[in-house]
Structure 1
Amino acid sequence: MINIQNYVRAKSLEEAYTLNQKKSTRILGGMLWLKMAGNTVGTAVDLGGLGLDTIEESEEDFRLGTMATLRAFERHPGLAAYTGGAAGRAVQDIVGVQFRNMATVGGSVWGRFGFSDLLTLLLSMDTRVELYKGGLVPLEEFAARPYDRDLLVRVHIRKTPGRFAYRAMRIQRTDLPVLTCAMSRLGGEYRLAVGARPGRAVLLRDEEGLLAGGITPDSAAAFAAWAGRSVPTGSNARGSAGYRTHLVEVLTRRNALELGGLAQ
C-alpha cells in the first residue's frame, strides 16, 4: 500500500509543475493503480480543483481534461457519434462502472500502461496531448517517450473524418486484456494500433498498400497477416507471444472487415 507523507491540492498548474520537479512527488489521478504501489510518496499533488475534469466538444475537436473519467468518456454522446460507438466499446470492460467513475483519462494516457484500452483507441485517432511545458505533441510520439516531470493537461482529438473499430481479447470480462486492437480509416489512411502486447500500444500504417484497393475478405486477411508479422509480442501470465501474434491477426482482420462494412 502506498504511503503518502504530504498532500497538496494544487491551486494552479504552475504550483503543481513546480512541486512535481522533485522525484518524491506524484501527481494523483484516480488513485486506482497508484494506491497499490509499495513505495513512499513525499508529496501527492491533486489536480482536482483546476477544472480539468470535463470533456469539451467543438466543431473541430474534442478536448479531454486530464481529470475527466473513463466513464465520462464512455458515455459522451459526441464521442459516440464520431466514433460510431467505438469509444464506449473500448472502455466498457475496464473492471466495472465504479472503477470507471474514478479512473481518469490522464492517468491512463500518462501512465502509458501496456494494458490500456484507452491508449490503444486514441492512437488510432488523430490525437495530440497538451503538456504544460511541452505544448501539443502527437500522441504517437508521446506514447514512445520515456517518463518525465511535465504535466499532462488535456488530450485533443481532432474530428478528422473517419471510421473506427475496436476489439480486445480478455480471458474473462472486466479482466485486464490479453491484447487490444483498434483500427481506423482517417481520410485515405488506414491506422492500426495494438496494445497489451504485453507492452504499451504501438501504431502501424498500411505501409505496403495492402488495403489501397479497398477492403475485401482477401485484402483484410493479407493486411492482418502483415500486422501479425510486424507487431512485436511477448509472453506473460495472460498469454504467450505466439498466442498474442495469433490474436493480432484475428482482431485486425475482424476490425478491417468492420471498417469495410463486411463484418458478419
Structure 2
Amino acid sequence: MYVAEPNRTIEAANGVRYTYRRCGPSGATPLVLLSHFRGTLDSWDTALVDRLAVEHDVIAFDSAGVGLSTGRVCRTVRDLAADTLAFMEALAVRQADLLGHSMGGFVAQELALVRPNSVRRLILAATAPRGAPEIQGYSDDVLAHVDFDRPGIQDYLYTFFNHTETSQRLGLEFIGRYIEREHGRDTPVSAAARADQYEAVVEWGVPDHRALQRLAAIEHPVFVAGGDADFVVPPSTSHLLAGALPNAKMKVYPDSGHGFLFQHHHQFTEDVLAFLR
C-alpha cells in the first residue's frame, strides 16, 4: 500500500539524489506520476495510487530541490521535463505512461514533445496547454490559500474541491487519507522552492498561439480529464487542450474542482486503467 511504501533514493547523472516511492507489479510499462505545484510524495491520494498499482508499476518522485530530493528547483517547464528524464534514466525506465496533475500535466506535455519515444500514453489531469489564455499564474484568491508554508484543512478544501456540501465532504475524506501516513512523511515545499516553481507556472502561461500549435506534434494517445468547477485551472482550457491534441479523449467529472481525481478516485482510476489497457 502506498501509505506504507518506504521512501527510496537514487542518484542520477545530473548529480541530483531523487527521493521516490514505487509500488505495484514489475514488468509492466511504468506509470510515472507528475505532481502539481508544491506537490510532494505525500500529495498523491493513497486510494488512487493503490488502485492503479494493482495493474501498474506506479512511481512517484520529488523533482530536484523539492521535498526530500536534492538539487536546485527547476524554474521552467522545459527544465522540469529534463529533470523528469534524468530521474527516469537513473531508474532505467526507457518508456513510461505519464499521469500529470496540474503543473505535472505541463511537464508531461513537454516531455512528450522533446522526447516522444520516452512516453507511451498520457493522462493530463486538471491542466492546460502552454500559451492558453487565462493561465498566466493563479488568481489572488487561490494564491491566498496556497502560498504559505503549511496550508490548513480549509485551504485544501477551498483550492482542490468544489464549494458544495458533497464535494467538501469528499474533500474531508481525502484529507483523512492524506494524513494517514505517520512515518517517513515528505518535507513540505519551502517558500524559495515555491517561488521557483511559480516562475515555471507563469512562464508556461504566457499567451502564445504558436505554443498552442505545438500540440499537433503529440501523437500519443491522451486522456484529458478535469473537474467542472476548477478554480485553479479554468475548465475551458481542458477543452482547448483536448481539441488541439490529435489523439485525445476527454472526460469532465461533475461537482468537482482541481482535486477531482481525489474526489472521484474510484471512477477516475477505472477510467485511467481502461485507457491504459
Q: Same fold (TM over 0.5)?
A: no
TM-score (norm 2): 0.29
Q: Which has the higher contact order (CA 8 A, sep 6+)?
A: 2
* Higher Rg: 1
TM-score (norm 1): 0.30
